[in-house]
Amino acid sequence: MHIAETAVPGAYVVTPERHTDERGDFFEGLRTDLLEATTGHPFTPRQINYSTSRRNTLRGIHGVAIPPGQAKYVTCVRGALRDIVVDLRVGSPTFGAYETNVLDAASGRAVYVPEGVGHGFLTLTDDACISYVLSTVYVPGTQIDINPLDADLALPWGFTEHPLMSAKDATAPGVREAEAMGLLASWQGAGRDTHSSVSRKALP
């Protein structure tokens, strides 16, 4: 598999090598040894979640407070979706930067989301199913929600009609409000160093 860092330091896109014959195909969906060698951080799966959504459903932006923190390995196992990760680590040189990828069952492409980085997606098909392999189990009260339509982030969802959203996501604070409330992790607290050559649009 090919693992490439994104515009959000510590977040990676994983593209598997598919082996195809007349029967169908085969690919490795997750190799923790390769992932850990690339990221420099251990990744031990503790919980696996699935969610299924109708077309034009927007979920996110979601994260987990540190502690306990939570890294995610995200794949689309049915249908297709537009996946976005966004740097929410206060003090990061790319705070507010994002990376967009289309994940679909046909490609097997995955995204590794490190601690402190937000994640969300827009479904592009009906009955789209996403899988989350998580480094920590669910702890009530530790979830962080950022409004996915926050004007400060200006994320390129690409929808042509208003998406279906939960009331919780639609009324979540923007990134600046969440920062002022002390909800976001720090760059150092998320286990990242302060030197990175990776850069994209970052909030001032």
- Which CATH number does the domain housing residue 105 bear? 2.60.120.10
| CA–CA gap between residue 64 and residue 116 (Å, rounded) | 7
Give the mean pLDDT of 121-129: 98
Single out the catalytic residue among 12, 73, 98, 132: 132
* Residue 12: active-site member: no
Q: What is the pLDDT of residue 143?
A: 97
44 touches 32 (CB < 8 A) = yes
Residue that the structure tokens 């992790």 belong to = 185
Is 132 among the domain residues? yes
Q: Give the other-Cβ count within 10 Å of 171's Cβ.
A: 10
SS3 of residue 178 by DSSP: helix
Query: Is 201 among the domain residues?
Result: no
Helix (H/G/I), strand (E/B), else coil: 151? coil
In SS3 terms, 27-76 reads as CCCCCHHHHHHHHCCCCCCCEEEEEEECCCEEEEEEEECCCCCCCEEEEE
DSSP 157: -
Instruction: Give catalytic status of residue 98 as yes or no.
Output: no
Q: Which residues pair with 119 in a beta bridge?
A: 62, 85
Report the C-alpha gap between 61 and 83 in whole angstroms. 10
Out of 12, 62, 98, 112, the active site residue is 62
Instruction: Determine the pLDDT at residue 195.
Output: 31
Say how many domains are in the chain: 1
Residue 189 belongs to some domain of the structure: no
Domain encompassing residue 167: 2-180
Model pTM score: 0.91
Residues near 197 by beta carbon (within 8 Å), at least 6 away in sequence: none
Could you read off the pLDDT of 35-53 as tens digits, one per residue?
999 999 999 999 999 999 9
Q: Give residue-wise pLDDT tens across range 174-200.
A: 999 999 999 999 998 776 543 333 334
Confidence (pLDDT) at 152: 97
